[in-house]
């Protein structure tokens, strides 16, 4: 019983790591787009 609970927790943790990695990648893309958008204002001076 304990081993199956540990296995379930491990699988859940692995899924959370995958979700976190995907979210971090999406945030990185959004940050790059924001930096580009702000750069337009900086270059317009």
- Residue recorded with tokens 């270059």: 43
Q: How far apart are CA 7 and CA 2, in angstroms?
A: 9
Query: What integer pLDDT is reported at residue 41 of this predicted model?
Result: 85
Question: Can you give the residue range of the structural domain that contains 1?
Answer: 1-45
Tens digits of per-residue pLDDT, 12-41? Answer: 999 999 999 999 999 999 999 999 999 888
**15 vs 1: CA distance, rounded Å:** 21
pLDDT band for position 45 (50/70/90)? low
**How many residues can be counted in the chain?**
45
> pLDDT value at position 1?
79
Is this model's pTM higher than 0.85 or not?
A: no
Count of domains forming the chain: 1
């Amino acid at each position: 019983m304990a081993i199956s609970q540990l296995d379930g927790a491990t699988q859940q943790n692995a899924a959370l790591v995958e979700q976190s990695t995907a979210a971090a990648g999406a945030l990185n893309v959004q940050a790059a787009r924001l930096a580009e958008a702000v750069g337009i204002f900086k270059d317009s001076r």
